[in-house]
Structure 1
Amino acid sequence: MAFISGSRGPDRQSDYKFIPRSCPIVIDNGASTFRIGWAGESEPRITFRNVVLRPRHKITGETVTIVGDHDPALLKYFDCTRSSHRSAFDSNVVYQFEIMEYILDYGFERMGVEGSRVDHPVLITECACNPIQSRSKMAELLFENYGVPSVAFGVDAAFSYKYNQRLGICDRDGLAICSGFTTSHAIPFVGGEPVLEACCRTNIGGYHVTDYLKQLLSLKYSNHMSNLSWEKVEGLKMEHGYVAQDYASEVQLFQTGTKAAEEKTRCWQLPWTPPPTEVPISEEEIARKAAIKEKQGQRLREMAAAKKSSRISDMENELHGLEFLLNELKTVKENDIQSFLSQTGYVSKQEIESAVVRVTQSLRRAKGEPVEVEDKAEASAAEKYSLINIPDNMLSPDQQKEKKRQLLIKTTTEGRQRAKQKRFEEELERERKNQEDEEKRLENPELYLEELRTKHRELSEKVEQRKRLKTNGPRTNGNQNLSSSVGRGERLNAAQKERMRLLTTAAYDRGKGEDTFGIKEEDWQLYKLMSKDNDDDDEGPDDDEAELVRITSRLQDIDPAFIPKVESSSYQTVTHIRPLTKEDFQITIGVERFRCPEILFQPNMVGIDQAGLDEMAGISIQRLPLKGDGVEDRITHSILLTGGSCIFPGISERLEAGIRKMRPFESPIRVVRASDPVLDAWRGAAAYAASDQFLLQTFSRQDYYEKGEEWLRRYRLRYTI
């Protein structure tokens, strides 16, 4: 017997050796809870959940067995996510005896049994009309594995009824309605003995009520599913659930939302930590941040200026060194030039001159001076592209191909140089504007900031209006369509419309009944015209957008309170996220309080096409083999509610009203609840096992070996001793 018990597990009993061997062990083997103790006592010694979990150790990979609810502290050492709780029951019938063996091992070990042999008689409860196969396997398990001397089987609802009969709550003739974890039974009693031939069963119980409540709350509060564990929902059901006397009128009460419905609504507060309150930034803080940002900006500008000065100084030194080499090269004799160049790292005089040109141009760019094309560079370009200015009739075919290649290279190079020069000029213009802005800001910072904000607002409105017109087209008045229904033509500007007209007219006029447009090479010039994008004459160039970007960047640098606007598509919706409050972590339970227990009377609400508790009572009474002599009235006068699912408030009144509808007028109907619907089954079994005649109701291990399963089929416990 190797088990792991958490901090919530029951303690091991120490008085097992002092208990006489004739004292029976009483086991209430319920589908939800396993209870075990000694006969004659009022409380069970050991109580735990009737499930088994078999996780693996995170390091060693060894599989261990955890019986009952595991301690959350075990998650540090065992992987409990890949295994789930397993029960030995299918509804309320034991069919997984491997799991049942783990549970019995744990129960006997907690009782103090040394080894695997139990020397005491055992009384174990079972469901009504338990299949003979399940009873036979249970007897085999107790006799073969534990060596018990004798065993007795009894119905848990019958023990609860007999216990409450001794307390004077119910009579000898009556009806026991037991609503358990997964099933509900109705068992009539005549002369103190259960009439099992007339019992009725429905596959509905407390498990289904909790599962239904968990489903409703998970759909209603999907963002809190992690907090809606089975144990939490079970607690909510037991604390707030009740049975409505009239389900339809109760639902109508919550639909109208009256004050009575608000009074019946319960609220469950989940753990919630309020977010820290944000203190508004004061003007002094804004000024302090602006001063820090200005100081950082000034430091960056000084670093950039120092880096630029150092770079200019390095290029001037390099240029002086190259000019010195050229001057020294003039004094060197022709025969000594190669040896002199080998010491400098240059191959030829032309390479030194090219380096001088390159460094000179870089130095002028760094100083902000215009870069002029040197005559030497022009001469080298003329040598490089020597075939461009020569007519084609004076060149051979190979030279003509070379001429085309040189022309392509020259065009590409000149384009790159023009683009580079343009970027350089734009950079100089930006620096000039930034210098002017800095001068204006230093003269009057407040006025400069206000002007910058005004200009930013005007440019933003202008750019947004242009984008809106370009996307949706202009709105029209009168009977014409608005921008919400503009067509392709209404979205085009004037230049685009003109190009479309040229293309369609040319194709129509050129064809004359036959589509010949595109045969001639000049026809394709129209397509080149169509592909041009610089047609936004009516919309203006993109200078406004560039200026808006520059001003936005400038405001971010000097204005701490400036927040740039985030552009969003017209098809996107801006979601405003509000901070979570205490009310967002509250779970409200209103109609669910009585809607979930209602499935005990209407199982079809969860897709189970069977009878409810009130209908089960009527069916059991109809199935009685002996009728007459007022036995039906005596039974309805003593209806006992027992089981864990019978503790809902209002269930007795609702059951009485339902049975009264099925019985004749003025029939005596009395519905009572057990003194303890949860523990009375074990207490009744413990009191029954403590009597002197209990051993006459058991069968021994020798009887089991001699008579076998057929004798178990005829075995029936008598509850009246």
Structure 2
Amino acid sequence: MPFISQIQRQSDFNLFPSTTPIVIDNGASYFRIGWAGETDPRVIFRNIVQRPRHKATGETVSIVGDHDPALLKYFDCTRSGPRSAFDGNVVYQFEIMEYILDFGFDRMGANGAEIDHPVLITEGVCNPVQSRSKMAELLFETYGIPSVAFGVDAAFSYKYNQQLGVCDKDSLAICPGFSTTNVIPFIDGEPVYKGSCRTNIGGYHITDYLKQLLSLKYPYHMARFTWEKAEDLKMEHCYIAPDYASEARLFQKGTKEAEDKTRSWQLPWIPPPAEEPPSEEEIARKAAIKEKQGQRLREMAEAKRSSRINELENELHGLEFLLQQLEQVEDDDIPSFLSATAYVSKQEIESARQKVSQSLRKTKGEPKGDQVEAEEKIDLAQNEKFPLIDIPDNMLTPDQLKEKRRQLFLKTTSEGRQRAKQKRYESELEQERKNQQDEEKRLENPELYLEQLRDKYKELSEKVEQRKRLKTNGNHTNGNSMSGAVGRGERLSAAQRERMRLLTTAAFDRGKGEDTFGARDEDWQLYKLMSKDNDDDDEGPDQEEAELTRISSRLQEIDPTFVPKSELGTSQPVEVPRFRPLTKEDFQIVLGVERFRCPEILFHPNWIGVDQAGLDEMAGNSIRRLPSVGQGVEERLTNSIFLTGGSCLFPGIAERLEAGIRMIRPSGSPIKVVRAVDPVLDAWRGAAAYAVDPLFPTQTFSRTDYFEKGEDWLRRYQLRYSL
């Protein structure tokens, strides 16, 4: 399968003799490969594989290590994420490892399928025999390697720095790597694996912890926090605090020192274009357009009103003409005459004419002045409908008296309905007149009209709220209410107080003896007094609430920013949500306490749920695990504590580790912490220097030995680092 990579392919592979070893630093984070004896590896890439499908052809493509992100738009990566061959610091996915070795040898310039060079490859501390056996099988049977040697990366880094005089022959090597942290004691230059220990915490967990913290802090920028970007932020800004508690209190107080230690990451942000205020010509042009639109709407409304008036006038003339013809028809011929029309009786035609007349006056906007004639006609019609009302009782028979009372009841009910209908009609005309006046005011000065409407809405809402508070005041008080509280009597209207007085008086008068209420006709006058239409105080609140509702609906029509109150009883003003344009600060990622909180898990792994020891505690455990050695050896080990690995690049880690080990060691013990010259590449450089030694072939495991001795011999295989 084809590979996608930006790494340039080497062209001098055939220039090296077959005796020159190939050195591979197979780390969980990066894969480094090069020639023995050189100072730097030839090829470095991330130790991951991704196998997406091409969107057009459907071909599966292998993407190994670093790649160009611009090419991913041609591939479907939803079902193929980055995969590693490692579980911790142990290789267990050898299918993925084969892709990585293929790519590494291809970038080195190997043309054929077989690699005719010895290979020195690194592995983890106390690597399982199963993993080492599978790696040997892959190198021997797939690539035809003549011989291979396995060594620990931390040991090669230690030997390389020992030659440079950084550390002593007796030393304690601490290697915080990508996925694990190992501690290996060295005595006389050789590792003592019985005293080594491991913790499953490394740079990967620090990066993942930082990514989680930033995603929780800035959830709206979560897509920006990729694993690669979090790795860059970690290596650029994170550090180890000398004292975590005091450093956290420093940021909690927000002192000047904490502000100096805060870092910001600016995300891409394009400022919005500056909006210039409109010119006078633009304002005049918009006003002219608005006036023209208003004039057009007024003309359309007037045309519609004229059309409606013509229709109503024609209909009214037709009804009057029908009534005139009906008067000339004899009574016996009226049903046959009305059968040709849509009406049943003369009263129905008069009622229809009255409705049309009222609609016509309403459309013309005329006040109720000439309704006397219509009322007289209605009275005449009623007199014809109720002929017994005006006849005295002494002139009627008992059956006629019953019919008279029935007609009197019907007439009273009809008159009541007519008055209610007339009242509604008058209120509609008044409302229409108010709406016309409001519209004229709005067209004359829209801004002033809107301001006055808002003031009126505010005034009415305050009145209604105050009345609501007065009604509900006193419900939450007991008998010993404080001074200034409103009593129930003060919260009642005048009509309600009068009703209560009548009920109290009647109950007091009738409560002295036997309850005889209702025996006399005068007792029932009490209900007439209570039901009298004198409750003027109750009409005020209803009218105010209706007016408040009308103003609220009017404001919603003409003011898009107006938000009515959800409840009339709310005392707090409702804030209108306003749009705030995004600024440069909204796209800044501030790194404060996260800078030292994330690397702190090297010393406190239990913060992320890993119940294991930290770096300082691991050093003490490693010394205690050693076989019986003298007191001088322990002092020599603590006098040369060697740090290597990518996660020891954090500033302040040496000082913090020295302070932690000093707390668990006896008083006066010599403690010195040193760091590798290059914690990342010293492992490969130490292996490259080791592979050029003339005695290196004696430390290799040949292909012939593999086929003869097999896995049992690999179990006993151990590299000597002092040649």
Could you say whether these structures have the same fold, taking a TM-score greater than 0.5 normalized by the shorter chain as the test?
Answer: yes
State the number of aligned residues: 688
**Greater alpha carbon shift after TM alignment, 565-574 vs 68-77:** 565-574
Unaligned runs of 5+ in 1: 329-343, 384-392, 395-406, 511-529
What's the secondary structure of 1:35's corresponding residue? strand
* Pairing 1:328-339 to 2, within 5 Å after superposition: none
Confirm whether residue 687 of structure 1 aligns to residue 684 of structure 2: no
Contact 1:198 / 1:623 at 8 angstroms: preserved in 2? yes
Alpha-carbon spacing, 1:449–1:271, altered in 2? closer, same or farther (3 Å): closer
What's the secondary structure of 1:659's corresponding residue? helix
* Pairing 1:291-690 to 2, within 5 Å after superposition: 291-313=288-310, 366-368=363-365, 425-436=426-437, 453-454=451-452, 457-458=455-456, 460-470=458-468, 473=471, 475=473, 480=481, 537-538=537-538, 540=540, 542-547=542-547, 564=562, 566-569=564-567, 570=570, 574=574, 580-625=582-627, 627-628=629-630, 630-664=632-666, 666-690=668-692
Letter in 2 for 1:464: E
How big is the shift at 1:177? 1.4
Please list the CA deviations of residues 366-396 of structure 1 after superposition, one character each: whole Å capped at 9, or x if unmatched.
44578969999x99xx99xxxxxxxxx99xx
C-alpha separation between the residues in 2 aligned to 1:495 and 1:88? Answer: 90
How big is the shift at 1:29? 1.3
Confirm whether residue 132 of structure 1 aligns to residue 129 of structure 2: yes
* Pairing 1:181-260 to 2, within 5 Å after superposition: 181-260=178-257
1:68 to 46, 65, 68: 65
C-alpha separation between the residues in 2 aligned to 1:573 and 1:437? Answer: 26
C-alpha separation between the residues in 1 aligned to 2:486 and 2:98? Answer: 78
Contact 1:471 / 1:491 at 8 angstroms: preserved in 2? no
Confirm whether residue 172 of structure 1 aligns to residue 174 of structure 2: no
Contact 2:238 / 2:650 at 8 angstroms: preserved in 1? yes
- Tell me the equivalent position of 2:392: none
Confirm whether residue 159 of structure 1 aligns to residue 160 of structure 2: no
2:116 to 109, 114, 119: 119
Contact 1:459 / 1:544 at 8 angstroms: preserved in 2? no
- Tell me the equivalent position of 1:524: none
Please list the CA deviations of residues 465-513 of structure 1 after superposition, one character each: whole Å capped at 9, or x if unmatched.
2144226636579962699x99999988787899999999999x99xxx
Contact 1:603 / 1:611 at 8 angstroms: preserved in 2? yes
Alpha-carbon spacing, 1:610–1:428, altered in 2? closer, same or farther (3 Å): same
Letter in 2 for 1:106: F
Please list the CA deviations of residues 58-98 of structure 1 after superposition, one character each: whole Å capped at 9, or x if unmatched.
56766544333554334533343455433222221122223
Alpha-carbon spacing, 1:453–1:599, altered in 2? closer, same or farther (3 Å): closer
How big is the shift at 1:194? 1.6
Contact 2:442 / 2:450 at 8 angstroms: preserved in 1? no
* Pairing 1:690-705 to 2, within 5 Å after superposition: 690-705=692-707
How big is the shift at 1:585? 3.6
Alpha-carbon spacing, 1:453–1:593, altered in 2? closer, same or farther (3 Å): closer
How big is the shift at 1:156? 0.6
Alpha-carbon spacing, 1:213–1:74, altered in 2? closer, same or farther (3 Å): same
Alpha-carbon spacing, 1:349–1:568, altered in 2? closer, same or farther (3 Å): closer
Alpha-carbon spacing, 1:712–1:430, altered in 2? closer, same or farther (3 Å): same
C-alpha separation between the residues in 2 aligned to 1:25 and 1:505? Answer: 116
Confirm whether residue 12 of structure 1 aligns to residue 14 of structure 2: no
Contact 1:600 / 1:613 at 8 angstroms: preserved in 2? yes
Alpha-carbon spacing, 1:135–1:421, altered in 2? closer, same or farther (3 Å): farther
C-alpha separation between the residues in 2 aligned to 1:101 and 1:505? Answer: 106
- Tell me the equivalent position of 2:102: 105
C-alpha separation between the residues in 2 aligned to 1:701 and 1:491? Answer: 105
C-alpha separation between the residues in 2 aligned to 1:534 and 1:123? Answer: 109
- Tell me the equivalent position of 1:389: none
C-alpha separation between the residues in 2 aligned to 1:137 and 1:419? Answer: 101
C-alpha separation between the residues in 2 aligned to 1:555 and 1:571? Answer: 20
C-alpha separation between the residues in 2 aligned to 1:459 and 1:299? Answer: 30
How big is the shift at 1:179? 0.9
Alpha-carbon spacing, 1:148–1:487, altered in 2? closer, same or farther (3 Å): farther
How big is the shift at 1:642? 0.7
Letter in 1 for 2:678: D
C-alpha separation between the residues in 2 aligned to 1:635 and 1:315? Answer: 113
Contact 1:243 / 1:654 at 8 angstroms: preserved in 2? yes
C-alpha separation between the residues in 2 aligned to 1:496 and 1:254? Answer: 65
Contact 1:293 / 1:557 at 8 angstroms: preserved in 2? no
Letter in 1 for 2:698: L
C-alpha separation between the residues in 2 aligned to 1:535 and 1:116? Answer: 107
Confirm whether residue 88 of structure 1 aligns to residue 85 of structure 2: yes
How big is the shift at 1:137? 1.9
C-alpha separation between the residues in 2 aligned to 1:361 and 1:113? Answer: 104
Please list the CA deviations of residues 528-571 of structure 1 after superposition, one character each: whole Å capped at 9, or x if unmatched.
xx9xx99884361544455456667778999x9x9646424439
C-alpha separation between the residues in 2 aligned to 1:100 and 1:417? Answer: 98
- Tell me the equivalent position of 1:51: 48
Contact 1:466 / 1:539 at 8 angstroms: preserved in 2? no
Contact 2:195 / 2:626 at 8 angstroms: preserved in 1? yes
How big is the shift at 1:579? 5.2
Alpha-carbon spacing, 1:567–1:294, altered in 2? closer, same or farther (3 Å): farther
C-alpha separation between the residues in 1 aligned to 2:345 and 2:584? Answer: 82
C-alpha separation between the residues in 1 aligned to 2:150 and 2:50? Answer: 27
1:261 to 252, 258, 263: 258
How big is the shift at 1:418? 9.0
- Tell me the equivalent position of 1:27: 24
Contact 1:29 / 1:35 at 8 angstroms: preserved in 2? yes
Alpha-carbon spacing, 1:307–1:651, altered in 2? closer, same or farther (3 Å): same
Alpha-carbon spacing, 1:658–1:499, altered in 2? closer, same or farther (3 Å): same
Alpha-carbon spacing, 1:687–1:497, altered in 2? closer, same or farther (3 Å): farther
Letter in 2 for 1:110: R
What's the secondary structure of 1:87's corresponding residue? coil
RMSD: 5.8
Letter in 2 for 1:587: I
Alpha-carbon spacing, 1:154–1:557, altered in 2? closer, same or farther (3 Å): closer
Please list the CA deviations of residues 622-648 of structure 1 after superposition, one character each: whole Å capped at 9, or x if unmatched.
333362394334433333211001111
Contact 2:441 / 2:449 at 8 angstroms: preserved in 1? no
Letter in 1 for 2:158: Y
Percent same amino acid among aligned pairs? Answer: 69
Alpha-carbon spacing, 1:107–1:631, altered in 2? closer, same or farther (3 Å): same
Letter in 1 for 2:673: V
Contact 2:362 / 2:429 at 8 angstroms: preserved in 1? no
C-alpha separation between the residues in 2 aligned to 1:418 and 1:2? Answer: 95
What's the secondary structure of 1:118's corresponding residue? coil
TM-score normalised by structure 1 residue count: 0.75
- Tell me the equivalent position of 2:331: none
How big is the shift at 1:272? 3.6
Contact 2:442 / 2:449 at 8 angstroms: preserved in 1? no
